[in-house]
Structure 1
C-alpha cells in the first residue's frame, strides 16, 4: 500500500485541524490517506494502478505461501463454488471440508484429533478460548472455577474483543481496555535479545521465565487458570522472535503441573512459514489447542482454523459432544478448497525444504549485509520468517521515539520506484509502543536469486533511509 497525505500543501492540517477524507465509500484503516489500488497480482509481484510492480517480500502480513495467481488454486476454488458455494454447517458438511480437516489432522502425525475451520485468525482465537473453557466445564468432575488465562506481554492474538483480551499488545489494546476481559494476566515474552541478562545463560533464562509463569499461576490461583497462550515464533508484535531452546517444554511443564491447557497461536508463524508445517514440531511439545491461519490458504480465500488435541476432544466427546460455538461461514467450501489445494502444492512441491534452505540463505545474507549497520539492533527469525529490529543507539539498544514511525517510513520508502519492494512494518518490540522492526516473509517457492535480490535491496533501502535521516 502507498499512503499519501491529503492535499498537505493547501491544507497542512486539513479543514479546521481535521484531515479531509478522500472521496471513497470504504472505511479504510486510515481515513486521512489514499490507498493505491492493486490491479494485478502474479507470482511474487503485485502491480499498482500507476504501473509499479512491487516485489512482495513479505507476502502481505506473512500470508502469501505460494505466490499469487496460482492456477491450480483458482481452478479448485472455482470448481468448488460451481459445485457447492455455501454450506449451512448446522445441518450439512461438504467433502472438501472433511478432506481439509483430515489433511490437517494427518499433518500432525495424529497428535491433534479434530480441526475446526473458520475465516480469520481472530475467529480462531475466539474459538480456542471458548473451547478451553468448555473443556473444563465438561471434565468429570467439572472445574467451572477455571475462568482465567495467562498471556505474554507484547503478544498479539487477534483484533476482536475476546482475542484482543488475551493479547498483550499495549498499543492495540489501549483504546478498548474498558471493554476487554478482566480475567487475563501477563508474563514476560521469551525475547532473548532484550530479555536475557548479560550474565544469564539460555537455560537460566528459561528457568527464570518458567518460575515467572509458575508464580503467576500461584498469584491467580492455579485452580482458576484455563490456559497459557503464546506464539511459538512471535509475529507482528515483536518481529519474528523465536523462543530459546527448551522454553516451551518448560512452559508446558508448568501448565501440566496445575492442570491447565497450552494454547499455541500459529496464525502467523505456522503452516510451513518457519520450516515445518507446524511450528511446535520444532519445540518438543504438542499443544492442547492450536490456532492456524494466513499461510493455511495463502491469501486465496479467508480461512483459518483451530486444531484440538485428543485430550480436549475426548472430554467434549464423552460429555455433551457439542461445541457451543458457531459461525455462519465456518467450514466455508471455497475457503476449504483454497486451503486444501495450497497445502497439497506445498507438500507435492516439497516447499518446506525450500523454506528451510532459502531461509538459511536469507539469514546469512541479512546478517552479512546489515549485521554491522549502526541502526540495526537485531536480526532474528526462523525459516522464511525474518525480522530486522532498528535502534537509535546500538550500544544501549535505545529505540526510536514511537511518533517517528521509523518502520512504517522504511516500508513506504520501499514501495518507491527506486526499490519496489514490499516489507511488513511493525512496532512495539520494546514496551508495546516503542521499538521498530520490519518483517521479511516471502513465498515458500522463492528462489535463491530472488533471496539474493531481496537481501541486497533491503540493504540498500535501510542504508538510504538512515543516510537520509542524518542528512535531514
Structure 2
C-alpha cells in the first residue's frame, strides 16, 4: 500500500530525497548519497552545516529562555544583536526591527518608509518604486514590489501595481546602449519615474544591490548606486537596500551595497543573518528615518508574534561573530574570484555559457537557451547537477527576466581551496553532459 503525502512540498507529490545530516559544505540523504551544497540551500546556509559553536549557543539560550513577547519584555540576546548590527552596518543604520523572514523584513521596511513621512505630516508619499527584474518576497506587499513575472502571474489582480524601472542588465541593455557610453540611463530613469508619479507621492525606491533570483547575480556598473542615492535625496525619496540574499559576507563584503559608495536609508537582512540555523530577518533603519517616529508616535506599526525572540536572536549573534572571527567575507571574495576565473575559461570551450557575473560567492551563470530544445534550461541544469551530487539554485534572466535560462552558484562561505576544486570538477561534469544536448556543439 502506497503511503499518502501529508506535507505540501514545492512540487506536490514529487518524491524528494530525505535529508539525513550535514557537515560544512556537504549534505547526505537517507540513502547515503553525498551532495555538495553549491547553493547554500536557498543562498542561506552561509557558514555551512553542523557548526558546533552555533548549536551550543542554540542550546544555551533554549535552556535559559526561548521566547518572550516583544510587547512585554526585551531580552539581552535581542539587545546585543541589534547593537552588533548597528556596529557592522554603514552610516547611521542603527535601528533594528526583527522579524522571521526576508519577506516580512522587506514589507516592514516598506511600512517604515511610508510611516516616516506620515509622522512628518506627509500622507501622500505611499508609492514604492522597484525594478523590472527584482524579487522582494512572496507575500502580497513584498510581491507587489517585485518585478518577477513568474512569481507574480497567479496573483496579478491582487497585487499593487507599483511602478518599476529597468534593471541594470549591461549584457542585455534594455536601452540597447553600450556600457560606459550610456550615461547610466538605467539609474537616471529613476528620476523620470519619480517625476512622472510626482515626488510628493513616492516614499521609497527598493533594490537588491546585486539581483538574485530574478536576475542571476545581475551586478550594476560602477557609479550606479551613487547616482540612485543622489536622485533619491534630490526628491526626498528613501532608498531601501534589500540585502536578504547579498548581506553578511555573501558578495565578498559584509554588505553588498559596500561595493558602491552609497549608504541606504533602510537595509534589509535575512538568509545569511542566521545562516539557516533559525528563521530570523531584520529591517534596519537609519537615525534619520527613525527621528520623526521617535518625536511622534514612538510606535512602528508592524510586528509578529516571534519578532525578536531571544532564541533566534542569540543564534544570529553567534553567526555574526562566527563570520567576523573566521573572515568569511574575505574568503568569499577570494574563492569567488577563483571560481569566476575558471568559469570564464570554460566560456571558450562551451559557447552556450552566455554570461558569468556576480561578486564573491554570489555567482550567476546565464545559459544561451537558443542552444537547447527544452522548455527550461534552468531545470535541466539543476536536474543534471543534482544527479551528480551538486546542488544549484534556480534563477531567471534573459529579456525582461522571463527566461528560465540561468542559475546561481552560491556555496557556503567556509568553502576551502580543495572544496572549490571538488565543486568545479562536478560542475565541469554538468557542462559536459549539457554539451551533449546542445545544438551545434558536437
In the superposition, the TM-score normalised over structure 2's length comes to 0.95
- 1:333 to 1:203, Cα distance in 2 relative to 1, 3 A: farther
Match of 1:5 in 2: none
- Structure 1 residue 393: deviation in Å? 4.0
- 1:429 to 1:84, Cα distance in 2 relative to 1, 3 A: farther
In structure 2, how many angstroms separate the alpha carbons of the residues matched to 1:114 and 1:274? 23
Aligned pairs for 1:296-445 within 5 A: 296-393=273-370, 404-416=375-387, 419-445=388-414
1:83 to 61, 64, 81: 64
In structure 2, how many angstroms separate the alpha carbons of the residues matched to 1:313 and 1:120? 22
- 1:216 maps onto 2:197 in alignment: no
In structure 1, how many angstroms separate the alpha carbons of the residues matched to 2:188 and 2:280? 37
In structure 1, how many angstroms separate the alpha carbons of the residues matched to 2:438 and 2:180? 36
In structure 2, how many angstroms separate the alpha carbons of the residues matched to 1:350 and 1:392? 38
Moved over 3 A (4+): 196-199, 468-472
- 1:276 to 1:203, Cα distance in 2 relative to 1, 3 A: farther
- 1:190 to 1:109, Cα distance in 2 relative to 1, 3 A: closer
Match of 1:25 in 2: 6
- 1:162 maps onto 2:131 in alignment: no
Aligned partners of 2:216 and 2:397 also within 8 Å: no
Match of 1:192 in 2: 170
State the number of aligned residues.
440
Match of 2:94 in 1: 113
- Structure 1 residue 117: deviation in Å? 1.2
Aligned partners of 2:47 and 2:275 also within 8 Å: yes
Aligned partners of 1:22 and 1:31 also within 8 Å: no
**Which whole-Å deviations, capped at 9, do the CAs of 1:413-456 have from their partners, x for residues lacking one?**
1121xx21111122244323214111111111111121122223
- Structure 1 residue 136: deviation in Å? 0.4
- 1:455 maps onto 2:388 in alignment: no
Match of 2:435 in 1: 466
For structure 1, the residue ranges without an aligned partner over 5 or more in a row are 1-20, 395-399
Match of 2:160 in 1: 181
1:69 to 50, 54, 57: 50
- 1:56 to 1:107, Cα distance in 2 relative to 1, 3 A: same
In the superposition, the TM-score normalised over structure 1's length comes to 0.90
Instruction: Report the more deviating stretch, 451-460 or 214-223.
Output: 451-460
**Which whole-Å deviations, capped at 9, do the CAs of 1:5-61 have from their partners, x for residues lacking one?**
xxxxxxxxxxxxxxxx97210111211412111011111111112210101011011
Equivalent position SS for 1:465: helix
Aligned pairs for 1:263-302 within 5 A: 263-302=240-279
- 1:437 to 1:70, Cα distance in 2 relative to 1, 3 A: same
Aligned pairs for 1:189-268 within 5 A: 189-195=167-173, 200-202=178-180, 204-206=182-184, 208-268=185-245
Aligned pairs for 1:38-77 within 5 A: 38-77=19-58
Aligned partners of 1:154 and 1:429 also within 8 Å: no
Match of 1:9 in 2: none
For structure 2, the residue ranges without an aligned partner over 5 or more in a row are none
Aligned partners of 1:114 and 1:308 also within 8 Å: yes
- 1:27 to 1:435, Cα distance in 2 relative to 1, 3 A: closer
- 1:308 to 1:126, Cα distance in 2 relative to 1, 3 A: same
**Which whole-Å deviations, capped at 9, do the CAs of 1:174-194 have from their partners, x for residues lacking one?**
010111123x11110011111
- Structure 1 residue 214: deviation in Å? 1.2
- Structure 1 residue 353: deviation in Å? 1.4
Equivalent position SS for 2:378: helix
- 1:126 maps onto 2:97 in alignment: no
Aligned partners of 2:25 and 2:37 also within 8 Å: yes
Aligned partners of 2:369 and 2:405 also within 8 Å: no
2:415 to 434, 441, 446: 446
**Which whole-Å deviations, capped at 9, do the CAs of 1:200-252 have from their partners, x for residues lacking one?**
3426241x123311111111111100111101000011001111100011111
- 1:197 to 1:151, Cα distance in 2 relative to 1, 3 A: closer
Aligned partners of 1:389 and 1:435 also within 8 Å: no
In structure 1, how many angstroms separate the alpha carbons of the residues matched to 2:187 and 2:119? 28
In structure 2, how many angstroms separate the alpha carbons of the residues matched to 1:440 and 1:429? 17
Aligned partners of 1:46 and 1:53 also within 8 Å: yes
Aligned partners of 1:122 and 1:160 also within 8 Å: yes
In structure 2, how many angstroms separate the alpha carbons of the residues matched to 1:293 and 1:371? 37
In structure 2, how many angstroms separate the alpha carbons of the residues matched to 1:125 and 1:245? 25
